[in-house]
Amino acid sequence: MRNLIIKSSIELTATQKTKLEAGLRKKFKEDISFGYVVDRILGGIVIIDGENMVDASMSTELLKIKKASAEIINEMQSKGNLKSKELTSAIKSRLHDYILSEKPKNSLRSGEIPDLIRAQLSNIITRDLNVNVCGKVITIADGIIQISGLSTCKYGELLIVNKNTFAIAMNLEKNCVGAMLLNNVRDVDYGDIVYTTGKIVEVPVGEELLGRVVNPLGEPIDGIKSLHTDKRRKIESPAPMIIDRAKVDTPLSTGILAIDSMIPVGRGQRELIIGDRQTGKTAIALDTIINQKGKGVICVYVAIAQRAGVIAKIINKLKEHDAMEYTTLVVSTADDSAPLQYLAPYTGCTIAEEFMYSGKDVLIIYDDLSKHAVAYRTISLLLKRPAGREAYPGDVFYIHSRLLERAARLSAARGGGSMTALPIIETQAGDISSYIPTNVISITDGQIYLEKELVRSGIRPAVNVGLSVSRVGGSAQLPAIRKLSSKLRLDLAHYRELAVFSQFVSELDASTKKILLQGEKTTEALKQTEYSPMSALREILYLYLIVHEHLLEIKTPQIGTFLDKFYNFYKSSFAMQAKELSAKGELTADIVSSITKAIEQFGAYFMLEHK
């Protein structure tokens, strides 16, 4: 038995249905079951027969006439020897002939079927069929569907299932197409009709999204109001070419002294944050967002498969520090389907790209890409793709490289905007040599490695300076910080090696003791509480005291108090120099002299107070 779905612009009467069914049974000469749907097709009807769609709608006829009109006009204008009135008359005549040539040869008797349907029905029964390819769902499992009949479908194309469900084509096989559903997963069933669109998924972009929380489809989920923006961008776009990029030489301050001094991040860089669970990876990302307040940097935070409670805490923390006004959150929770979790970082990147190509600086956080890889592995296994190392598909490297390569600093000719990416990867038992961590490390421009042992020792941020690196280096630092921190990283790494070695030695020489003492004071000075990023002035003053060994006489538990009070003393007693240092970030002779005087005056007072 043949199953046909009949679409019309109005509800057909019983008489009309009887006439239509009789004509179709006579044409196909077999048993047919009919289903009727009212749709916005202006007029006429559309008949869906399994994998084929017979389109005899008024909207399609109008498109054909519009196309023919354009062809006739181009042909007549190319002659160039007709006057305006003659051209208009000739076009009308040619178009009239075209419409007459397209008129049905054998219309049914007048009155049997309304005028809007009569001509199209005669087309179906008596003329060659106008067939467009469509498909049918043959299997469905966990948001992944297999479709038969989409012979013209392209990879990554947006598909429509039953007019209200969207899917993305992921597998193109000989006899079927594999696709992942994006919404209304429970509404899709075996036998549902699938249409191709010839488009890639688009999401809304623009300043309307600032301060909003959206899902991976760009739909607001914060319950405030609907989005009113006409701007949309495709979630897949090529990365900027080399010729369109500029050198990464402008610092993007995280407000975290240990990072800004030893592992600097520049605008347009891709710096990985990697570490075990509960080592402070998200805290570093949020500190960086909070530190961008008043600096003209727009932030996009992408939560991938996070628990709803964790996301709520992040939103509250950003609101608490007035950071939501320049931040957009793209959220996929742990309860969302794997396709939505897979789509989230691409949506966030698209939103950030709109600002970058508008000449603005953007910071985007991907929290985290290890869960994104797991979602993609789930999709690939359901699509029956061959599994590789750790059951991941062979193109798992490509999905992250094509995402992170879109982060760049553009040249002045392209607007001078930038997108700085801070992807996060979660390791298991500190193993950074597993598949996904090594993949992302090879893509990014450096990594900030957070160590579980340092967290247990009470050191936060728990940055392992030996395994952390920034491939941009000092070119993305303020001159004063670059000058002061040139040896800090090596000295701290040396101290940690000696600290391990000294546990097995009974007596140490004076030089080793001094290195250990200086390392202990430096480690204490670099400690920083969560959600309290430092200003550039504070960072420079702290570094000056650390590097020039002014903390050796201060008791280790009092170092935090000493640094904080010294900062306040310098800012109030040497206000002009403090303002200049904060604005330019350079250690001039006058500023060095003022810092030296401040140390002498405040040091004596502090030592007396804490005698």
HSE-up (13 A, CA, CB side) for residue 470: 28
Among 5, 16, 114, 97, CA closest to 50: 5
Q: Tell me whether residue 118 is one of the annotated catalytic residues.
A: no
Whole-angstrom distance, CA of residue 255 vs CA of residue 531 = 9
What are the angstrom distances between the C-alpha of 513 and each of 327, 505, 508, 517?
Answer: 47, 12, 6, 6
122-158 burial string, b = 16+ CB within 10 Å, else e? bbbeeeeebeeebbbbbebeebbbbbbbbeebeeebb
Cα 96 to its chain centre, rounded Å, is 51
Structure tokens at 499: 């600290």
The SS3 call for residue 518 is helix
φ/ψ of residue 167, rounded to 5: -145, 160
Structure tokens at 57: 């709608």
How buried is residue 224: exposed, middle or buried, by Cβ count under 10 Å (0-12/13-18/19+)?
exposed
Whole-angstrom distance, CA of residue 241 vs CA of residue 283 = 33
HSE-up (13 A, CA, CB side) for residue 302: 31
Q: Please tell me which residue in 409, 471, 482, 538 is annotated as part of the active site.
A: 471
The H or E element that residue 500 is part of is helix 488-502
* Residues 6 or more apart whose Cβ sits within 8 Å of residue 85: none
Among 589, 565, 594, CA closest to 577: 594
The H or E element that residue 447 is part of is strand 446-450
Among 466, 429, 474, CA closest to 449: 466
What are the angstrom distances between the C-alpha of 132 and each of 44, 50, 126, 296?
Answer: 16, 12, 18, 50
Whole-angstrom distance, CA of residue 276 vs CA of residue 290 = 23
Q: Catalytic positions, please?
A: 471
